Amino acid sequence: MEQSQAKILLVDESRFFLTIEKQFLRNIPVTLLETQNAAQTLAFCREDKPQLIYLAKEVTGMPGTECCLQIKADPTLRHIPIIMICEPGEENECHLAGCDAVLFKPLDRHRFLEIGRSFLAGIRERRRSCLISATVKNESMTFAARGLDISSGGIFLDTAAKPPLGTAVHLDIHLARPHETGPHIDCRGVIAWHNTKENPQKQNHPLGVGIKFQELSTQSAAVLNGFLRTFD
């Protein structure tokens, strides 16, 4: 039987910030619940049992900190991780309310997903299997490789090269299937993980490296998302 998707509850009195958060999570295989209201937040928690809550300090009906206190005071709900979203300087108040982590506005997409992933491992973007070419370089190395899967956040490359984790690189990626034409995108990235014989992170992948995208321009992101949609 197919496993049901994890549920994430987004709470903010600002429709603008709810929209941003939904955009951050648009490629994540989870069920999203959202509300601007504290009373409905508590109802969602009791009825839908979300696995993670992103809770703003500013919520309609009561402060987000009070809402957090009520959730953490309920023995049936206190296990739910709560990430509070606030302005810099308000974090102590959020921690006193019992939250599990704090994010600051303005929200950063990578930090938003990274903190969420620390509580819910399923917050990973769908990756599309592909076969594309890429060139990786920095001041000390250059190598070409095949990209075997890609998402809006990164790419896995089939390569024997093993740059140290954290190495900053520049990527030139040709977004085309074999024997097809397509656009190139350029961006910076960082070596995020290795797939090795000794420690295979992905059993069904060859030796290689996972690279996390950084400084992806708006234009390159749009081109990449257009390419990803061809797999849907």
Q: Which pLDDT score is estimated for 12?
A: 97
Cα(58)–Cα(12) distance, integer angstroms: 6
The listed CATH number (2.40.10.220, 3.40.190.10, 2.40.160.20, 3.40.50.300) that belongs to domain 128-229: 2.40.10.220
At 74, list the tokens. 């309920």
Q: How confident is residue 131, by pLDDT bands cut at 50, 70 and 90?
A: confident
| Sequence-ordered alpha helix ranges (H) in the chain | 15-24, 38-48, 64-73, 91-96, 109-119, 218-229
At 97, list the tokens. 């309310």
Please check the confidence at residue 123 and state whether its pLDDT lies above 80. no
Q: Which pLDDT score is estimated for 130?
A: 73
Q: Please, are residues 82 and 61 in contact by the beta-carbon 8 Å criterion? A: no
The secondary structure element, H or E, covering residue 134 is strand 128-138
Please check the confidence at residue 3 and state whether its pLDDT lies above 60. no
Strands 168-174, 101-104: pairing kind: unpaired
Strands 82-86, 101-104: pairing kind: parallel
Residue ranges per structural domain of the chain: 7-119, 128-229
Domain 7-119 indexed as CATH 3.40.50.2300: yes
Q: Which pLDDT score is estimated for 1?
A: 35
Strands 208-214, 184-195: pairing kind: antiparallel
SS3 for 210?
strand
Residue with tokens 């995208």, as numbered in its chain: 213
pTM higher than 0.75: no
Lowest mean pLDDT among 10-19, 123-132, 223-232: 123-132
